[in-house]
Amino acid sequence: MTFVYDALVIGAGYIGVSVAYHFSKAGLRTALLDRGGVGSGASRANYGNIQVQDAELAHSLDLIQAGYASFEGLEAELGQPVGLRQLGSLLLIENEAQWQMMAARLPRLHTAGIRAELVEASHLPDLEPLLDVSALLGACYHQREGQIYPFALLSAFLNAGQKRGLSLHWRTEVNAIITRADRVTGVRTSRGDFSAGVVALCTGAWTTKLGRMVERNWPVRHVIGQALITEAAPTLRLRNHLASAAFFQEAHGGGQDGGTERAILAFSQTREGHFLLGEAARVTCDMDIRATPTGQPAIARLAARFLPALQKLQVLRGWAAAVAFTYDGLPLLGPVAGLKGLILATAFKSTVIVTPLVGRLVTELALTGCTQLDITPFSPDR
Ligand SMILES: Cc1cc2nc3c(=O)[nH]c(=O)nc-3n(C[C@H](O)[C@H](O)[C@H](O)COP(=O)(O)OP(=O)(O)OC[C@H]3O[C@@H](n4cnc5c(N)ncnc54)[C@H](O)[C@@H]3O)c2cc1C
């Protein structure tokens, strides 16, 4: 049996649901396919932070700025709340090398209008009273970041898409991409063939596998990232999302395939008061998405060290997810050369912030062959 559509979106994570919504809104008969269900990949497993100041600097600032702006009016457009709220961000600095590295980023951020600033440790308690600053030199602070509730964002795009005719196909794994001459014409799945002139791959950590189906070797790697969540503690309030400046030195970008697990601080809090604590990370080729007996305690130790007030809180659960990344810090966003109709949108350094925007860009690309924002640096064929 063959299902016939105008457009197919593979992968129902943040990027896929946004693309599927925008395709449907543009009048394309669209099917969204996932090997599991909505949020089966990394999009079920994150903090929902809208991250600005940790942007890749060489090519991504326009994308990040436009991404941030696209949250304005989003809830009204989708007709449903997504848990949007403004938050600050602190990138914590533990040594002189990190201080210099953060200082070197500032001029470029400022030129783009991102008012991040270096703050010495003595001023940090004013910004984040829960933080133990004794081992810190300071932090890079940016006031205008934000957070959404991940499941609310996913379901808002899905609901709005369905109202415009979007068709959902869960437990539908793409096993082959069907091509004729220099065109994509559909996909072969565990539930039959789907035909369409446009196929958008939003497949996160699975993208290399999809690439092999069309003889492409896209430079997407993945990290298994772990986190845990505590019981709600409404009287303890984090004012910012906290991450370590060490992310710029050694996390995904610096890790090697098969490297050992490392815990690097990434803390946040939900609107209801649950603390989201991470992140133990391991760059790997496997897809063993399980929290480990070493990773979870390492995260708890980090939390106890930097947020001592949390020590008595109960941990509710821990999890792990495979998160796609590239070694140059740039996403794969654009048409696939030599295969008309095939578009890739994956491996964003920060995904939440670009989610609404990328749906729009991919739709522009599918309809007109170009985008208002220059995405050539992100070409899958770079
Ligand atoms: C602990 C933690 C905290 C994080 N916090 C944040 C944060 O605060 N802000 C932020 O921006 N990012 C955060 N991230 C990263 C973020 O979760 C990911 O970057 C994001 O979810 C990726 O979304 P995606 O849509 O690109 O991919 P995914 O959500 O991984 O979606 C890919 C989908 O493709 C499907 N798929 C793959 N292959 C096939 C196939 N052959 N057939 C059909 N379907 C297929 C998968 O099932 C999956 O659902 C965090 C990650 C972790 C681990």
Tokens coding 155: 């379901």
Query: Of all protein residues, whose CA lies closest to atom 9 belonging to ligand 1?
Result: 49
Residue nearest to atom 18 of ligand 1 (CA): 42
Tens digit of each residue's pLDDT (9 = 90 or more) over 227-260: 999 999 989 999 999 999 998 876 444 455 556 7
Residue 313 is encoded by which pair of tokens? 């809180």
Q: How many angstroms separate the first and last alpha carbons of the chain?
A: 37
371-381: average pLDDT: 97
Both tokens of 363, joined, read 């739709």
Instruction: For the chain, state the CA radius of gyration.
Output: 20
Ligand 1, atom 2: nearest CA belongs to which residue?
Answer: 46
Q: Check: CB of residue 109 under 8 Å from CB of residue 57.
A: yes
Q: What CATH class does 2-64+151-219+329-378 carry?
A: alpha beta
Please give the CATH superfamily to which domain 87-145+221-325 belongs. D-Amino Acid Oxidase, subunit A, domain 2 (3.30.9.10)
- pLDDT at position 1 is 77
Task: Please state which of the ranges 241-250, 269-278, 304-313, 332-341 shows the lowest mean pLDDT.
Answer: 241-250
Where does residue 340 rank: exposed (0-12), middle (13-18), buried (19+ CB within 10 A)? middle
CA 98 – ligand 1 centroid, Å: 28
Q: How many residues appear in the chain?
A: 382
Same CATH fold, 87-145+221-325 and 2-64+151-219+329-378?
Answer: no
What is d(CA 376, CA 354) in angstroms, rounded to the nearest whole number? 16
Percentage above 90 pLDDT, the chain: 91
- 345 forms beta bridges with 333
Confidence of residue 311 (pLDDT cuts 50, 70, 90): very high
Report the pLDDT value the prediction gives residue 256, as an integer from 0 to 100: 54
Residue 258 has a pLDDT of: 59
Q: What is the pLDDT of residue 211?
A: 98
SS3 call for 67:
helix
Least Cα distance to 12 among 169, 196, 214, 191 occurs for 169
pLDDT of residue 253: 46
* Predicted pLDDT at 251: 47
Kindly give the number of the ligand 1 atom that is closest to the alpha carbon of 17.
Answer: 25
Domain ranges of the chain: 2-64+151-219+329-378, 87-145+221-325
pTM of the model: 0.97
135-192 pLDDT, tens digit per residue, is 999 999 999 999 999 999 999 999 999 999 999 999 999 999 999 999 999 999 999 9
What residues does ligand 1 touch, defined as CB less than 6 Å away?
10-16, 33-36, 40-43, 45-49, 51, 173-174, 202-206, 210, 225, 227, 278-279, 321, 323, 346, 350-352
Residue-wise pLDDT tens digits, 40-68: 999 999 999 999 999 999 999 999 999 99
pLDDT, the chain, mean: 95
Does residue 90 surpass a pLDDT of 50? Answer: yes
Average pLDDT over residues 21-27: 98
Sheet holding 192-195, edge to edge: 2-4, 192-195, 183-189, 174-180
Nearby residues of 353 by Cβ (< 8 Å), 6 or more positions away: 50, 51, 52, 64, 67, 68
Tokens coding 84: 């949007």
How do 192-195 and 2-4 pair as beta strands? parallel
199 pairs with which residues across the strands?
8, 342
